[in-house]
Amino acid sequence: ESLTYLEELREELPLGLRELMEIEGLGPKTALKLHKNLGISSVEELEAAAREGRIRDLEGFGEKTEENILQGIELYRSAQERFLLGYTL
């Protein structure tokens, strides 16, 4: 049942938010909340918001959340780089 709900949420999300959900610890509800409250729809916008301290002002978020998001972005980018490097070789 919850898998169906998750699939429905994914279909409702704008395309850019699907990329956000690839970041470790960021699920559909969090991505949607960030999008609705801060207009975030890309990894670049998410990183800027976290670095500027805008995410911690949202209810249910804090400084630690911003740190976790930034770490998740680093992991996401390093995984992307490894994939692209492997793909080009």
Q: Which CATH architecture has domain 2-88?
A: Orthogonal Bundle (1.10)
Number of H helices, E strands in the chain: 5, 0
Instruction: Using pLDDT thresholds of 50, 70 and 90, give the confidence band for residue 64.
Output: very high
Question: Where are the chain's structural domains?
Answer: 2-88
Contact status, residue 28 vs residue 9, Cβ threshold 8 Å: yes
Instruction: Using pLDDT thresholds of 50, 70 and 90, give the confidence band for residue 76.
Output: very high
- CA-CA distance, 81 to 59, in Å (whole number)? 33
- CA-CA distance, 84 to 48, in Å (whole number)? 24
For residue 80, pLDDT over 90 is answered with no
Q: Kindly give the residue spans of alpha helices, DSSP state H, lying in the chain.
A: 2-12, 15-20, 28-38, 43-51, 63-88
> 15 or 63: which carries more pLDDT confidence?
63
The token duo for 14 is 């704008």
